[in-house]
């Protein structure tokens, strides 16, 4: 059964929290105050100080009668120790793992649940790109978390849609088929809302029937009049997204990309993505590489439209993963997101076309090598752009 296309909901409130020193304590507080239910769907979960804090609160919640359900991706949670898994199970947490790895599973192992949701009492949801790891949640010696990330706290009618999404995913079988459908269908998107505050809708890729999340991105870039600012840690976009960005820049829209610099967990992905810089820069796209830390943000700002959540907007994410973003039209949040981008641009290196042309041959060889490997992987895995 196809995943539904969710409509715009009015009357929602939002709070954007940058970095784990802000969002992690708030999430812990919300879970500690739960009276009915805590539902968690995450990709990255590792044993450590942050996960121990979460586990303590979850077990305390179960002890006072709260229903606690956790669904972790089996690959992303491979560093969650068996002792921690058993502690959760023995404490009464309903724990499930998405698509357990199988040596004979072939391409079915590539299907991953990349969504990040924490829902408390069916009334508040936290959405973003973080997991339960110390790199996200625990500040280091300099007082900043190693990974630059954000979570959005949402309250209002749209939370019911997030509850429905979690319930739907909770009930599906644990293993997925290894072959994608021959053709994913295009869907009819809800029209852009006329209001300016409190509007939100859930945007998804379900991996089998549609990638509505991508359609929404392309539709909004096409209607952009002032700005298109996009932050992503892994810049390996489809050709449709690259074309949309270039076209927007050519018609005078302020198009900026906020990407990882040398501090990254996957250097080959950075080199592979840099092969796109020359044409984008020539089209007028401005490219910024964040310098201080590993940038893990997944945010898009297009005029009055904001989308943030789990999606990296790359080939791999959009083909294999379950993803979920919150799309928003809200004047206050738009301003907060714009200020966040501006602060990050100030800590970034901006590339120019001359910078790209002046790259040393060693750097060019890395771009060529990893770009070639990326293209081969796309062809071999039959990832349609």
Q: What is the CATH number of the domain that holds 287?
A: 3.30.870.10
Cα–Cα distances in angstroms (integers) from residue 74 to residues 41, 101, 113, in the given order = 12, 7, 9
- Does residue 163 sit in the same domain as residue 37? yes
114 is catalytic: yes
- Does residue 165 sit in the same domain as residue 48? yes
Catalytic residue from among 121, 197, 254, 265: 121
Output the pLDDT for position 379: 73
Close Cβ partners of 142 (under 8 Å, ≥ 6 residues apart): none
Cα 200 from Cα 329, distance rounded (Å): 6
**Helices of type H across the chain:** 20-32, 49-63, 82-90, 134-137, 159-171, 212-223, 239-250, 267-274, 277-283, 315-320, 331-346, 353-357, 361-380
Output the pLDDT for position 330: 97
- Does residue 124 sit in the same domain as residue 224? no
Categorise residue 198: left if φ over 0, alpha if ψ from -120 to 50, beta otherwise: left
Please, what sign has the CA dihedral across residues 311, 316, 318, 323?
negative
7 inside domain: no
148 is catalytic: no
- Does residue 79 sit in the same domain as residue 204? no
Output the pLDDT for position 99: 87
DSSP at 106: G
DSSP at 269: H
- Does residue 282 sit in the same domain as residue 147? no
Cα–Cα distances in angstroms (integers) from residue 91 to residues 37, 62, 68, 171, 314, in the given order = 15, 7, 10, 22, 38
- Structural domain range at position 78: 13-171
116 is catalytic: yes
Whether 94 and 69 have beta carbons less than 8 Å apart is answered as: yes
186 inside domain: no
Task: Look at the chain and report how many structural domains it folds into.
Answer: 2
121 is catalytic: yes
- Does residue 39 sit in the same domain as residue 141? yes
> What DSSP string describes 63-102?
HTT-EEEEEEETTTTTTS-HHHHHHHHHTT-EEEEES---
Close Cβ partners of 125 (under 8 Å, ≥ 6 residues apart): 117, 118, 119, 153, 154, 155, 159, 162, 163
User: By 3-state DSSP, what share of the chain in percent is helix, strand and coil, each rounded to 5?
Assistant: 40, 25, 40
| Average pLDDT per 10 consecutive residues for the chain, totaling 385 residues | 85 97 97 98 96 98 97 95 97 94 78 93 97 92 88 98 94 55 68 90 79 91 97 91 97 97 92 94 97 95 96 77 94 97 97 93 93 81 54
- Does residue 349 sit in the same domain as residue 230? yes
H helix and E strand count, the chain = 13, 18
Catalytic residue from among 53, 116, 315, 319: 116
Cα 80 from Cα 40, distance rounded (Å): 15
- Does residue 137 sit in the same domain as residue 220? no
| Of 302, 304, 333, 329, nearest in space to 229 by CA | 302
Catalytic residue from among 53, 210, 296, 319: 296
Output the pLDDT for position 188: 84
Catalytic residue from among 21, 56, 94, 303: 303
193 inside domain: no
185 inside domain: no
DSSP at 330: -
- Does residue 135 sit in the same domain as residue 273? no
Domain boundary among 152, 171, 190: 171
158 inside domain: yes
Catalytic residue from among 53, 111, 114, 148: 114
Whether 9 and 201 have beta carbons less than 8 Å apart is answered as: yes
Q: 118-151 burial, b for 16+ CB within 10 Å, e for fewer? A: bbbbeebbbbbbbbbbbbbbbeeeeeebbbbbbb
- Does residue 45 sit in the same domain as residue 160? yes
363 is catalytic: no
17 inside domain: yes
- Does residue 235 sit in the same domain as residue 338? yes
Whether 48 and 16 have beta carbons less than 8 Å apart is answered as: no
User: Residue 126 phi/psi, 5° resolution?
Assistant: -110, 125
Output the pLDDT for position 181: 47
Q: Which long-range contacts (CB under 8 A, 24 or more apart) does 221-225 make?
A: 221/245, 221/248, 221/302, 222/247, 222/248, 223/192, 223/302, 223/303, 224/248, 224/253, 224/302, 224/303, 225/253, 225/303
Cα 190 from Cα 108, distance rounded (Å): 32
111 is catalytic: no
Close Cβ partners of 218 (under 8 Å, ≥ 6 residues apart): 240, 241, 244
Catalytic residue from among 111, 148, 210, 298: 298
DSSP at 359: -
- Does residue 110 sit in the same domain as residue 210? no
190 inside domain: no
């Amino acid at each position: 059964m196809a995943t539904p296309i969710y409509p715009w909901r009015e009357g929602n409130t939002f709070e954007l929290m940058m970095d784990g020193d802000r969002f992690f304590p708030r999430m812990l507080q919300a879970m500690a105050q739960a009276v009915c239910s805590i539902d968690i769907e995450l990709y990255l979960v590792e044993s450590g100080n942050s996960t121990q804090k979460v586990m303590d609160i979850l077990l305390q919640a179960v002890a006072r009668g709260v229903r606690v359900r956790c669904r972790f991706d089996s690959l992303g949670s491979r560093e969650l120790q068996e002792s921690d898994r058993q502690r959760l199970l023995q404490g009464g947490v309903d724990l499930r793992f998405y698509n357990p790895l199988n040596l004979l599973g072939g391409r079915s192992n590539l299907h991953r649940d990349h969504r990040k949701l924490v829902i408390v009492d069916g009334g508040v949801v936290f959405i973003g790109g973080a997991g339960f790891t110390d790199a996200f949640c625990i500040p280091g010696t300099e007082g900043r978390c190693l990974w630059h990330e954000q979570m959005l706290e949402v309250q209002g009618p749209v939370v019911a849609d997030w509850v429905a999404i979690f319930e739907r995913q909770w009930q599906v079988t644990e293993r997925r088929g290894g072959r994608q459908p021959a053709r994913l269908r295009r869907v009819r998107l809800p029209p852009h809302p006329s209001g300016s505050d409190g509007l939100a809708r859930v945007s998804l890729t379900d991996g089998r029937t549609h990638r509505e999340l991508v359609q929404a991105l392309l539709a909004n870039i096409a209607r952009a009049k002032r700005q298109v600012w996009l932050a992503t840690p892994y810049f390996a976009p489809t050709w449709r997204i690259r074309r949309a960005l270039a076209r927007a820049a050519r018609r005078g829209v302020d198009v900026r990309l906020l990407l990882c610099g040398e501090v990254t967990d996957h250097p080959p992905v950075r080199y592979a993505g840099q092969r796109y810089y020359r044409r984008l820069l020539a089209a007028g796209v401005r490219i910024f590489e964040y310098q201080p830390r590993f940038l893990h943000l997944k945010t898009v700002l297009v005029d009055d439209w904001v989308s943030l959540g789990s999606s990296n907007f790359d080939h791999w994410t959009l083909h294999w993963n379950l993803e979920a973003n919150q799309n928003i039209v809200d004047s206050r949040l738009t301003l907060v997101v714009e200020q966040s981008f501006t602060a990050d641009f100030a800590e970034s290196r901006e590339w120019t076309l001359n910078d790209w042309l002046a790259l040393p041959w060693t750097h060019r060889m890395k771009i060529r090598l990893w770009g070639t490997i990326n293209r081969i992987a796309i062809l071999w895995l039959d990832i349609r752009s």
